[in-house]
Structure 1
């Protein structure tokens, strides 16, 4: 390799294109780099053949330089070594290698050909798989694995029963519900809907209601605990599907880019305004608060309302600032016409 680089340098020099900079010969072996850069003789270099000293002389004469490149960036390993999947795909991507069918389809598609039927069906099937399989696993794991397991586990393990027992905010809700129940008894007696009840009968009714509320809250705590693990199964299954079907994911991304590119400039500006107004508009504060309350209730988290208020006051504002920076600094470079239409639509 060093000899070929030297030959190319002298050849270009004879053609009238002198190269003053040192040529780079990347190497993923740090020991070889140190030996080539250090002329000191030691035991490990006494058996190196004489022709290999040519590289050291070229380095010392400042003709070539041997920068280090990690094994993950050594593209030649794609042809010489059995690499792991991500490293192999990354090397193929850098070399411009990929699935021939997808590349041919992209070339035809950009040339103006209609999308073949099998490509549309392939994308539809893959989208259906992305939706159906994770949701099915989530449902099966939640209702048929975790919930029956937790029902038996709580009855046999006291520590689990204590962890999933009624919490303090839930007890306050129970007290409020019992007060409403007592008030309902009094109101029905006053309007003549039910006969007067003795103190013992009222106590029994309230006790029965309290036990019902306790069982409901315990079941709700088991559900929220199962939601955490079932959602983890959902995320892992979705990640596995995306990871092992990267060619189909690339095809979906390409189709999305094609749809965006085929949109008119007015449509792109309208889409930007629609998305920003939904998530960062005047009424988006209530939407963010409702979304956070749904997430908190789904996972059974005990979060103070002030934390939600602080989050709503900070995060959408930061996102809004980043979006405005992109709109006014980078959008005019990407598409000046879309930027002008966007300004006109916002002005009116």
Structure 2
């Protein structure tokens, strides 16, 4: 009961007064300068460690992926891909794109003929041109399939190396996290609100589905997977909504406590 009553009494004194008193004590402390120098050196060392670890996280997986692609994975995949039993197309999407290109090529020939840009072609010459175009398309999509298989193994190896570096350097990762927290929470309220609006508009905003569609189609094409429109639309309809919900919960749960003025600025800028 005594502790509760004493805490109630101290609550009548603003906390800002205690912070001001603490700053005055630090100013008159004879060791204040040495402490500031030590804090500066510790902050400098922490920044250097974070930059080095970030460079390792970026450079090492990229170097490993490029070296493995050129000297290990690509020769192995090429040796298997040159066998006759392997097909040219990995999925139906590639075949549909090849047929569409061949059809456009045939239509372009007829279009140029009707514009009197080319003489009339016989059926044999037309079939010969279509055959040549089909052979070139086969080579094109064969190389695309080869690159897709190579990308799968290279990206898996890069992800494995990235995870191993994170596991080995877990302490350095914590240093980076604390440094990023200091940088982010040290920004002004307007800068925080600007970054929040920029990130939300990019990933969960009104125009974000177009960006998600381009990213998903590029990723599926990179790994030789079929470009399923139903899967892409289902992903766009669910993942950004979940991300938006998590983001709003983060604003309500954490940012509203640590920086309520930034949240108020965010709402004013967003209106």
What range describes the TM-score normalised by the shorter chain of this pair?
Answer: 0.7 to 0.9
- Find the partner of 1:235 among 159, 165, 170: 159
**Partner residue, 2:220:** 296
Aligned pairs (5 A) from 1:174-213: 174-213=98-137
1:129 paired with 2:60, answer no
Give 1:345 shift.
Answer: 2.6
Contact 1:327 1:339 in 2 (8 A): yes
Residues 1:330 and 1:309: Cα distance change in structure 2 (over 3 Å): same
Aligned pairs (5 A) from 1:73-112: none
Which region of structure 1 is more displaced relative to structure 2, 327-336 or 260-269? 327-336
Residues 1:251 and 1:333: Cα distance change in structure 2 (over 3 Å): closer
Inter-partner Cα distance in structure 2 for 1:289 and 1:110? 51
Inter-partner Cα distance in structure 2 for 1:109 and 1:259? 19
**Partner residue, 2:201:** 277
TM-score computed with the length of structure 1 as normaliser: 0.61
- The structure that is helix-richer by fraction is 2
Superposed structure 1 runs of 4+ greater than 6 Å apart = 108-111
Residues 1:258 and 1:286: Cα distance change in structure 2 (over 3 Å): same
- Find the partner of 2:248 among 316, 319, 324: 324
Residues 1:327 and 1:252: Cα distance change in structure 2 (over 3 Å): closer
Contact 2:90 2:224 in 1 (8 A): no
Larger-Rg structure: 1
Q: Report the secondary structure of 1:300's partner residue.
A: coil
Contact 2:189 2:261 in 1 (8 A): yes
Contact 2:89 2:145 in 1 (8 A): yes
| Residues 43-87 of structure 1 deviation map (CA, whole Å, 9 limit, x = unaligned) | xxxxxxxxxxxxxxxxxxxxxxxxxxxxxxxxxxxxxxxxxxxxx
Residues 1:116 and 1:257: Cα distance change in structure 2 (over 3 Å): closer
**Partner residue, 2:190:** 266
Number of aligned residue pairs: 237
- Find the partner of 2:74 among 128, 147, 151: 147
| Residues 69-128 of structure 1 deviation map (CA, whole Å, 9 limit, x = unaligned) | xxxxxxxxxxxxxxxxxxxxxxxxxxxxxxxxxxxxxxx689852666655444333322
Inter-partner Cα distance in structure 2 for 1:200 and 1:283? 50
Residues 1:245 and 1:148: Cα distance change in structure 2 (over 3 Å): same
**Partner residue, 2:25:** none
Inter-partner Cα distance in structure 2 for 1:231 and 1:126? 20
Q: Report the secondary structure of 1:178's partner residue.
A: helix
Structure with bigger RCO (C-alpha 8 Å, 6+ apart): 2
Runs of at least 5 residues in structure 1 that lack an aligned partner in the other structure: 1-107
Runs of at least 5 residues in structure 2 that lack an aligned partner in the other structure: 1-34
